[in-house]
């Protein structure tokens, strides 16, 4: 497995196993993922599966030191004190004494009148403390747009190392990805397969066939070549393995540009902060 290197030098496996709505209560699924070669597991308090994932990893006898574990605090856990408490709950559920990466899941609560900038800054102070205390190896955010990041970085002592966002050929968030890269923040992709919606696209099918790969593999490779770390999820052993078999081909620059011109759709756009059209 190849790696990306975060701005603080921490190495992160270049493809992670996404667990949102995946069957990670089943030790068999986790065992298949480990056997396929996954070491990087992405969960969140909101997913409600931290305890199951932690248990399954322990049942499989996976040594903690070979794993890269990410979790996230939810919109209802924003704020300095709340974030510290949320972190302890996640550790307890996962059955570990440190995280590799801890993220703010969304920049603001559902209450749109809430002062999100202050909440995020308080939350970030808590994450910085956890980071300085060695309880987490890297800290970051998720679903942040450049204006959220700019606001956070005005007072941050430690810059975010990751921004996990929706990213696939139907929603490549080019302006956001470029902003992250310019600031040394690694973008990660949730739903890198567009929740399967892009898999039947005739253009992508033809393109993938030309590389002797599936559309899913093309999408994951597209993420890597954009400098974005993909977090695919699958409960089928053969697809788990196929989703890691993406290091033996290169999409040409011309094809990368073509993929970026596909019609846009995405779920983040339902969030009030997100532009309906990419700027
Ligand atoms: P399955 O668990 O049956 O493999 P996303 O990560 O974009 O949210 O997409 C997840 C969905 O993509 C799941 O429904 C998963 O189903 C499916 N999936 C994952 N890998 C592949 C693949 N290589 N080919 C086709 N479908 C896939």
Is 105 within any annotated ligand binding site? yes
Look at residue 111 and tell me whether its pLDDT is greater than 90.
no
Which of 19, 85, 89 lies closest to 56 in space, CA to CA?
19
Ligand 1 pocket mutation, candidates 164, 190, 196, criterion most atoms within 8 A of CB: 196
pLDDT (0 to 100) of residue 279:
45
* Each residue's pLDDT tens digit, 194-219: 999 999 999 999 999 999 999 999 99
State the CB neighbour count (10 A cutoff) for residue 66: 8
Q: Which atom of ligand 1 is nearest to the CA of 235?
A: 2
ipTM: 0.96
Distance separating alpha carbons of residues 130 and 151, to the nearest angstrom? 21
* Each residue's pLDDT tens digit, 69-91: 999 999 999 999 999 999 999 99
> What are the structural domain ranges in the chain?
3-264
Name the residue at shortest CA distance from atom 4 of ligand 1.
234
* Each residue's pLDDT tens digit, 7-33: 999 999 999 999 998 887 788 999 999
| 220 CA → ligand 1 middle, Å | 11
- Are 193 and 232 contacting, i.e. CB atoms less than 8 angstroms apart? yes
Residues with a catalytic annotation lie at 47
pLDDT band at 108 (very low <50, low <70, confident <90, very high): very high
Name the residue at shortest CA distance from atom 16 of ligand 1.
234
| Maximum Cα–Cα distance across the chain | 53
* Each residue's pLDDT tens digit, 148-189: 999 999 999 999 999 999 999 999 999 999 999 999 999 999
What is this structure's pTM? Answer: 0.96
Give the domain 3-264 fold: TIM Barrel (3.20.20)
| 152 CA → ligand 1 middle, Å | 33
């Amino acid at each position: 497995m190849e790696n990306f290197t975060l701005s603080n030098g921490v190495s992160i496996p270049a493809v992670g196993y996404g667990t949102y709505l995946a069957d990670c209560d089943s030790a068999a699924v986790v065992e298949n993922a480990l056997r396929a070669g996954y070491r990087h597991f992405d969960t969140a308090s909101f997913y409600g599966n931290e305890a199951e994932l932690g248990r399954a990893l322990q049942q499989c006898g996976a040594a903690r030191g070979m794993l890269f574990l990410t979790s996230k605090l939810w919109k209802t856990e924003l704020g300095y004190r709340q974030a510290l408490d949320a972190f302890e709950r996640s550790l307890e559920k996962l059955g570990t004494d440190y995280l590799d990466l801890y993220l703010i899941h969304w920049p603001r609560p559902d209450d749109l009148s809430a002062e999100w900038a202050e909440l995020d800054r308080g939350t970030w102070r808590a994450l910085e403390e956890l980071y300085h205390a060695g309880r987490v190896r890297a800290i970051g955010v998720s679903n942040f747009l450049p204006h959220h990041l700019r606001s956070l970085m005005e007072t941050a002592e430690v810059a975010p190392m990751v921004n996990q966002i929706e990213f696939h050929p139907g929603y490549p968030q080019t302006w956001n990805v470029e902003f992250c890269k310019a600031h040394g923040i690694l973008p990660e992709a949730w739903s890198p397969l567009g929740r399967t919606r892009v898999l039947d696209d005739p253009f992508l099918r033809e393109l993938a066939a030309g590389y002797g790969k599936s559309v899913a593999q093309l999408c994951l490779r597209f993420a890597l070549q954009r400098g974005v770390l993909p977090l695919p999820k699958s409960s089928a052993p053969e697809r788990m393995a196929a989703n890691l078999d993406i290091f033996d081909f290169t999409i040409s620059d011309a094809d990368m540009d073509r993929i970026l011109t596909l019609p846009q759709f995405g779920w983040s756009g339902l969030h009030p902060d997100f532009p309906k059209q990419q700027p």
